[in-house]
Structure 1
């Protein structure tokens, strides 16, 4: 579970955190790393062409199939009921997008009502109606349009077994009493429904349309841009949507006249081009993370150093302890790992130095999310305490330590080096570990399958889909997230924690919910199913004419919606 690739989408789960997140080398961009990073002193202006250099050979603009964050590529084309206000150095804030507010409930979170703003139009000039939002959501249930985020599928009442609207079946739990009103009936109270409404499937699709498999190549837009040219594997060009109104959109300044996604670009080559900053690359930025080796190059180039922006924090990297395996079924044994792991060595293995890798982690809720509380149930030096670990193992009935444990890690990026750092530290604590290095597909097959318990430990990371502790904790620690495509890699199951998660999810009041989620964080850590390692950092490079290029406190990606170019 570290980033599956460097595109800003979904939870960013994968093993081997390698090139996924780093701070600038050798003091480069020292406080840009705080997310303060307005990338230049230029005042953002309208006009010009912005180019986004992307390593993948395709970018999905079908909202039903997308896992794109609310501030990245998809949101240039599609609006949603709600969105995120992301500013430099500040936590993300839930704000209205197509809707007039972030949703209201009068029954404690089971029924949610949204009203659309006046005058909303699709790119074909037709009005955006409540029925179009309903259709887009229903369309996401069709098997041929799978792959997107699924929070709404699990929460809408009566959605179990629903297969989409194309054969006439409709969801009664999405009501449209008039052209501007949507009423959602959930299977249970859920306080974060407003955040869920910011996920891609809440983008409207004109009712009756979007049956074709390639809708993502020719979508009908609700955002400020339309896809004007698509060359598969080469580039996607966007131009202005003449029917989009800035007056109804507070999160998209839509500064460039056009945006080009240049596909299939090797990440190391992208960095070299942006460092050189010549010709068209002056108005481009890289969608992928800058690697540690390239950060050294950037640090030695004053011009490039000024054009690097680094996140304050990012995905949580952690070591999963398979709670269904042998001695690891015992929580007292698992607690020994909190002291046995050398987090400082893991930082070095990740990016060369602690400063490059990210801060040591002791909690599970991602840094930068509102309501997060810092605590440490297992205080020790970042380098660990092997003697304390041995003491705990002996007290748990293992005076000779443990041997033959299998550590699962993806060979992607520098995962093996990180696993070796974990292995070396555990040996000092009397814990023998064999590395199980796999390709990415085999890694995910082991993590996501119910009975695939052939590993004892797994190296993983996680960034939530939306900035709520809910999206941190439920996907990793709820019993329902074990197997069947879930990401509970520790196979952790606690009835009391499940009940606490359900209670926190049902809490509508923001402050009360935050306290409930902190209590879940502490309860999980008390059981020690994972060892938090570091909060990883991401660095991105831009051309000299790219303006308003910054990273907020969450997520650890540039706000694509704010970026412009200067002449």
Structure 2
């Protein structure tokens, strides 16, 4: 996943760029406050002792345009889209705890009778849209089918790759339908997959599983006037200025266990400069007392916040976050040799990368040694290449010599996005590699060119690339498959190492097909170790995110995953 600058919807593109991570659509690479570095694991509450109903909550974001079309969205289940659209399943996120999969529109998280190929869901009683019409299984089917239409592309695609017979399907607007999405009655949905897939319950929490009234949503601007299934409706749209959500009178709290819907009104204030947002929230005056920033607090601003006693108590920091890593293009020159690639595990000074990221290790995040990020159930700590955090240049030179390169490596290119502090991070990598006899030239690209290079084979040749990744849902599956499966090379995929190993592909398929949660977790740890043994990437740090809130914002916290505030829980005090 990659990032640009904070928008109300957290997208995949917001979490993969070389030095950029996402707030709600994007912002600078991570930060946390040493003076408050673990507050994200505590209550992170506002000024009142208990969350209260009522009032207006304002979210300050830097993007100037957005929409609430579930087919086009890559929004995490706990961010802004979740205020308007429910899905079959949801995430229960609590302070300091891993996210749990829970029912949303459905009565449970899905059941399978054939080891993961067929999944059945039953809708709850009493579900209605904001127009007062009942939410039926056919509406969920229609919403999913609608996501296949070319004019509504851009959302997450897990379901498109998994549903049987979906290849070549172009949506329902010409009368064609997918037999692999069956709605035999108003309450029942049956999904037939092309292969067993144990995480289908998590996939059912992605935006495309939001219902759209059957026959509606053909218009291009549906995202600006959607029919809501959640506690809020989009009532005011002033693109470039603000979006305003007000209560959906047809939403029934008795059917919804994850959305307390505390504020009467939620306003997304658009086009706000990130540093100015931090200054405003630190000052905590007038309406800003009931606001929070969608974007990360920058390292420079964190220093100021840490020195402001009134403000630092309102800073909430994640325990961890996205994995930042150095990709080694396994199709290029000497990097085709795993022996050469292993030298990079020792050559990189991860502590220098921390400093380049946020000034200090405490602000940047913990040193990374595995690919499965913190906060994912079943994750295992291990280190196949134990060394000092400053690296071991002598060991790296030794491994290069053993691989037939006694004079080191020269002429390599390192791809990085010019956004935010990407060049500084790349320079830190460049300097540490030089100590190990590896000379690197930086290729600094704008964001669009960077993404094109990562997502398209041969769009831009490179040997190394700085990247980061936040999973789309809390499963190791979403950590590993998008980055290391052969199928994720090019064609819009995020396998920036161009890594292809048939044994790993088979292990990924086995892990994906495992329905038992504990067994699946063990299978994914085995994949993590197998990939690391091949060394297609160097894990750098598990980044941290810090967010600032006004003094009247309540119930503002970050769970163990994802590293963002739970928008669905936030309220304001009077």
Q: Report the TM-score when normalising by structure 1.
A: 0.98
Mapping 1:164-183, distance limit 5 Å: 164-183=171-190
Aligned position for 1:137: 144
Please report how far the alpha carbon of residue 104 of structure 1 lies from its aligned counterpart in structure 2 after TM superposition.
0.1
Question: Could you tell me whether the CA contact under 8 Å between 1:3 and 1:461 is conserved in 2?
Answer: no
Q: 1:14 aligns with which of 17, 26, 51?
A: 17
* Preserved CA contact (<8 Å) 1:340 1:425: yes
- Equivalent residue runs for 1:319-338 within 5 Å: 319-338=326-345
Aligned residue for 2:541, secondary structure, equals strand
> Structure 1 441/35 Cα, relative in aligned 2: closer, same or farther at 3 Å?
farther
Alpha-carbon distance, 1:36 to partner: 4.2
| TM-fit CA distance, 1:2 | 4.1
Classify the secondary structure of the residue corresponding to 1:280. helix
The CA distance in 2 between the partners of 1:482 and 1:536, in whole Å, is 25
Q: Extract unaligned runs of 5+ from structure 2.
A: 22-27
Shift of 1:146: 0.4
Match of 1:253 in 2: 260
Q: Which residue of 1 aligns with 2:481?
A: 474
Are the equivalent residues in 1 in contact too, given 2:40–2:559 (CA < 8 A)?
no
Contact 2:246 2:266 in 1 (8 A): yes
Q: For residue 21 of structure 1, report the CA deviation from its aligned partner.
A: 1.4
What is the match of residue 95 of structure 1?
Answer: 102
Distance 1:550 1:562 in 2: 9
CA distance in 1, matches of 2:562, 2:385: 27
The structure 2 residue matched to 1:85, chosen from 72, 82, 92, is: 92
User: What do residues 400-435 of structure 1 show as CA deviations (whole Å, max 9, x unaligned)?
Assistant: 000010000000010000000000000000000000
Unaligned stretches of 5+ residues in structure 1: none
**TM-aligned CA deviation for residue 252 of structure 1:** 0.1
Count of equivalent residues: 565
Measured against aligned partners, the alpha-carbon deviations of 1:509-551 in whole angstroms (never above 9, x if no partner) come to 0000000000000000000000000000000000000000000
In structure 1, C-alpha distance between the alignment counterparts of 2:49 and 2:170, rounded to whole Å: 50
CA distance in 2, matches of 1:39, 1:412: 32
* Separation (CA, whole Å) in 2 of partners of 1:33 and 1:20: 17
| 1:72 and 2:57 matched | no
Shift in Å, 1:214:
0.3
In the TM superposition, what whole-angstrom CA distance separates every residue of 1:295-341 from its partner, at most 9, and x where no partner exists? 11111111110100000000000000000000000000000000000
| Partner Cα separation in structure 1 for residue 291 and residue 484 of structure 2 | 39
Identify the residue that residue 121 of structure 1 maps to in structure 2: 128
Question: CA–CA distance in 2 between the matches of 1:378 and 1:186?
Answer: 39
Contact 1:4 1:13 in 2 (8 A): no
Matching residue of 2:24: none
Q: TM-score by structure 2 length?
A: 0.97
CA-to-aligned-CA distance 1:150-194 (integer Å, 9 cap, x gap): 000000000000000000000000001110000000000000000
- Describe the SS at the equivalent of 2:346: helix
1:521 to 523, 528, 533: 528
What is the correspondence of 1:11-410 to structure 2 with a 5 Å cutoff?
Answer: 11=12, 12-17=15-20, 19-24=28-33, 27-34=34-41, 36-410=43-417
Name the CA distance, whole Å, in 2 between partners of 1:208 and 1:267.
Answer: 40
Over the residues paired in the alignment, what is the CA RMSD in angstroms? 1.0
| 8 A Cα contact 2:263 2:572, kept in partner | yes
Q: Cα deviations across residues 83-104 of structure 1 (Å, max 9, x unaligned)?
A: 0000000000000000000000
Question: Which sits farther off after the overlay, 128-137 or 11-20?
Answer: 11-20
Say if 1:10 and 1:464, in contact at 8 Å, map to a contact too: no
The DSSP-based 3-state class of the residue aligned with 1:562 is coil
Paired position in structure 2 for 1:511: 518
2:558 equivalent to 1:551: yes
Tell me how far apart the structure 1 counterparts of residues 512 and 193 of structure 2 sit (CA, whole Å): 12
Specify whether residues 456 and 113 from structure 1 end up closer, same or farther in structure 2 by C-alpha distance, changes over 3 A only: same
SS at match of 1:177: coil
Structure 1 runs of 4+ off > 6 angstroms?
none
Distance 1:471 1:372 in 2: 13
- 3-state secondary structure, aligned to 2:70: coil
* Preserved contact between residue 88 and residue 210 of structure 2 (Cα < 8 Å): yes
Q: Say if 1:324 and 1:453, in contact at 8 Å, map to a contact too.
A: no
In 1, distance between residues paired with 2:36 and 2:435?
Answer: 36
Distance in 1 of aligned mates of 2:243 and 2:48:
29
Q: Tell me, yes or no, if the aligned pair for 1:35 and 1:311 is still in contact at 8 Å.
A: no
CA distance in 2, matches of 1:2, 1:228: 30
Q: For residue 418 of structure 1, what is the aligned residue in structure 2?
A: 425
Shift of the alpha carbon at 1:35? 5.3
